[in-house]
Structure 1
Amino acid sequence: MTRTKDPQSAGLARLAGLIADETRAACLLALLDGRAWTAGELARHARVAASTVSEHLGKLVAGGLLAEERQGRHRYVRLADARVATLVEDLAAHVPPPAAGDPRPVRTLRESSAGSAMARGRTCYDHLAGRLGIALTDALTERGLLRQDTGFALTPAGLDWFAAAGIPLARAGRRPLVRACLDWTERRPHLAGVAGAALCRHALDSGWCERIGSERAVRVTPAGGRALSSLLGIAPDALR
């Protein structure tokens, strides 16, 4: 008896094959900062030749994981949409931490500092992650603004809080208002979705947070520490 192959399983295998390459995975993780990168920038980040990364980017664009933009002579790529960002972050969160005694290459002081900064606070596509993202999520939950008992949901008080803080929630489209995103460094969920993106955008636009270095790392400014302490009762020391 001949069985018809499931087209969904074939598609899933193709998708997994796209991600199952260390260079392509490095590019996808870098693009979680939500910005557009050139092939040269990604080549330097992944530590491969520009010609090598161009071939990989072509496969990711053809596979629908990246979108390509051209500006003059320059070619830029970015994650295709928020669903791709969710897929990459969720997969990263399932990577087990190194086992004790597991040999790893010696890291430079610069790499170690960058890793620590990313763990403290970073952008995950268009929302905040790391210890900063967890601190914000916990504070919203403790104040009854966000529910986590039956999945993430803003309470009426939470909707009022966003409005009072001057953070508009654009609910057009199919994207959920709030969504739990498993944090790959903290191994706990942080706030994503429309509300998470709006909070991140407001934090950066208002100067509560600022980007540092060329990675996704962000840090809370003194003004941001005061604002978040006033609005959510988060101790400034917990955000540094």
Structure 2
Amino acid sequence: MPVPAASPAPAASPAPSAPSLPTVGQPDVARAAALFADPSRARMLKALSDGRDLSGAVLAAEAGVGAPTASAHLARLVDAGLVTVRSHGRNRFYRLAGPEVGHALEALALIAPPLPITSLRDSGTTNALRRARTCYDHLAGRLGVALMGALLDQRLLTGHDGTHRPATAVHDRASGYGHDHHYRLTASGRTALHRLGIDLDALPLRRPLVRYCVDWSEQQHHLAGAAGAALTARLLALGWLRHGASPRVVHLTPSGTTGLADWIGLRLPA
């Protein structure tokens, strides 16, 4: 009697696939904080916060350390992506990798205890920073806030009144780019910038034309974005502003006092 053929074994069920893991985890805040935590590195980052390229020698002097120590600190900052470096002959020049690094410093300044004032130089630098400084590549401090106010008063800029109101702020914090309001240049504003020698059509498209920051020392808005950077660069080119001895500090010159009054009616208290 023929033996019946064995029935085929049932096909094995495919093994359940393992759940896919995310390729990017949460921000490593501790690592970033450790890079800011060293006093020498913090001083270097603050010196670079005006957006300019500075040499290793200048940064070593600003941090108060020797060249080998400065090189080691700068190498860590470059490896972490906070700073970029370029070579020019025998010299190496450093700059912040982007405005976000500067904004992180500005935000830390809000919660950091003040450094003790131990000399007239320290006192003078602190006052000068509050009076007029660069916030990456645009103007900040009392002068930056006053300039923003004059643009609004003259209806060259519109969208809000330049006031930071913490109680009603939704996204804005007391440092860094603002998001609660939408400022824009008016037709008169475009004409005024053109009259000053700024070609808006030639500005880079990779960033918004108009943005604002909440100024950490004044708690008001100052002008950022491509227009803010172009305006600051133009004021420096005209000699209306000049860089101070300390990085980030800028000074309004006598010709700048006259020029800003003639251009947009900005008159600062003596």
TM score, norm. by length of structure 1: 0.84
Cα separation, 1, equivalents of 2:35 and 2:112: 24
Cα separation, 1, equivalents of 2:104 and 2:28: 19
Taking the TM superposition and a 5 Å limit, the aligned residue runs for 1:1-240 are 4=21, 7-10=24-27, 14-80=31-97, 84-96=98-110, 104-149=115-160, 150-169=181-200, 170-235=202-267, 237-238=268-269
| Unaligned residue ranges in structure 2 (runs of 5+) | 1-17, 161-180
| C-alpha contact (below 8 Å) 2:96/2:102 kept by paired residues | no
The amino acid of 2:254's aligned partner reads: P
TM score, norm. by length of structure 2: 0.76
Cα separation, 1, equivalents of 2:32 and 2:182: 27
Secondary structure of 2:73's match? helix
Relative to structure 1, the CA distance from residue 8 to residue 22 in structure 2 (aligned partners, 3 Å threshold; closer, same or farther) is farther
Is the deviation greater in 88-97 or in 134-143?
A: 88-97
Superimposed CA distance per residue, residues 52-79 of structure 1 (whole angstroms, 9 cap, x where no aligned partner) = 2212211221222212111222122112
Secondary structure of 2:109's match? coil
Shift of 1:15: 4.2
Match of 2:7 in 1: none
Report the number of matched residues.
Answer: 232
Task: Name which one, 1 or 2, has greater alpha-carbon Rg.
Answer: 2
Percent identity over the alignment is 41
Secondary structure of 1:214's match? coil
Shift of 1:199: 0.7
Cα separation, 2, equivalents of 1:109 and 1:97: 24
Relative to structure 1, the CA distance from residue 42 to residue 176 in structure 2 (aligned partners, 3 Å threshold; closer, same or farther) is same
Superimposed CA distance per residue, residues 139-197 of structure 1 (whole angstroms, 9 cap, x where no aligned partner) = 10122111243322222221122122222223333111011122222122211111111
The amino acid of 2:195's aligned partner reads: A
Secondary structure of 1:7's match? coil
| C-alpha contact (below 8 Å) 2:110/2:216 kept by paired residues | no
Cα separation, 2, equivalents of 1:98 and 1:70: 34
Cα separation, 1, equivalents of 2:264 and 2:100: 26
